[in-house]
Amino acid sequence: MRIERVLANNPGPFTGPGTNTWVLDDGAGTVAIIDPGPVDSRHATSILEIIGGRAVEAVLVTHTHSDHAPLANPLASDLGVPTAGHARGPGFEPEIRLLDGARFAVGALDLHVVHTPGHADDHLCFRAGNALFSGDHIMGGSSVMVEDMGPYLQSLSKLKGTGLERLHPGHGEEMADPDAVIDWYVAHRLQRHEEVFATVAGGASSVPEVVEVVYRDVDPALHPLAARSVEAHVTLLIAEGRITSEGDELVATPNSP
Ligand SMILES: [Zn+2]
């Protein structure tokens, strides 16, 4: 097995250095392309150059956000191979639908599909041996925007203690010791969860007010992103009965832990 990265030219506050496109080779010249990224002819050319004469099995996407999936169908159609992903999304149509627990053959490699909702409902991670292509479920060096907090935390624990040795994220650098990274992610999220609750208990009554307090040290350009994660924490706190939403006002439940 051999894994190579092609960095897309889309750096920014939401994408870090840019989207990582991964080329997974079974060791015998059959490859899969994971997360080709946004439509960008220069990036498509770079991917094709790296692939050279190798046989491509499919173009896979971890999820259908615009920095991961839109190049998939055009690239796959140029190569005459299928696209594969969990569901259709903006600018993406999977010819092969991948569900949790599915296995996908890349030449001699058996790729395991793990459904990991949280960052996005349609998010998949792909496991090859002890390596995991983690998309935006676990990112290198920047904080993940979470849409749905309960499933997100479950999707983290689902991967823990499964013998993973290496993470290949959708953004940022490769990471060793996945279990330690997952522990840190869970701890970080639970800490944020308590901060969001404490901020509402302290009088903040809306998501933007909570963002102002909890993310005061973070670049304001990232506040809209942070607001989505705070929203996800608030939804979970409401489900837990720790806060209520009265009209538009968030209120901590009396005697809530
Ligand atoms: Zn992304």
Residue 150 has a pLDDT of: 93
57 φ, ψ (degrees, to nearest 5): -85, -45
Expressed in angstroms and rounded, the spacing between residue 135 Cα and the centre of ligand 1 is 7
Distance 45 CA to ligand 1 centre (A): 20
Q: What is the pLDDT of residue 141?
A: 77
Q: Does the pLDDT of residue 257 top 70, yes or no?
A: no
Q: What is the band of 14 on the pLDDT scale with cuts at 50, 70, 90?
A: confident
Cα separation, 62 vs 225, whole angstroms: 20
Using one digit for the tens of pLDDT, what is the confidence trace for 166-198? 999 999 999 999 999 999 999 999 999 999 999
pLDDT digit string (tens) for 109-149? 999 999 999 999 999 999 999 999 999 999 987 778 899 99
- Percent of the chain residues past pLDDT 90, beyond the cut: 90
Residue-wise pLDDT for 46-66, tens only, equals: 999 999 999 999 999 999 999
What percentage of the chain reaches a pLDDT higher than 70? 99
> Which residues surround the ion ligand 1 when the cut-off is CB under 5 Å?
67, 136, 170
Report the separation in Å between the CA atom of 65 and the middle of ligand 1, taken as the mean of its atom positions: 7
Residue 82 CA to ligand 1 centre (angstroms): 22
Whether the pLDDT of residue 1 is over 90: the answer is yes
CA of 233 to the centre of ligand 1 (A): 20
Within 10 angstroms of residue 143's Cβ, the number of other Cβ atoms is: 16
Query: Please, what is the average pLDDT of the chain?
Result: 95
Is the Cα dihedral 216, 178, 5, 146 positive or negative? negative
Dist. CA 201–CA 251, nearest whole Å: 7
CB 35 within 8 A of CB 63: no
Please give the model's pTM, rounded to 2 decimal places. Answer: 0.93
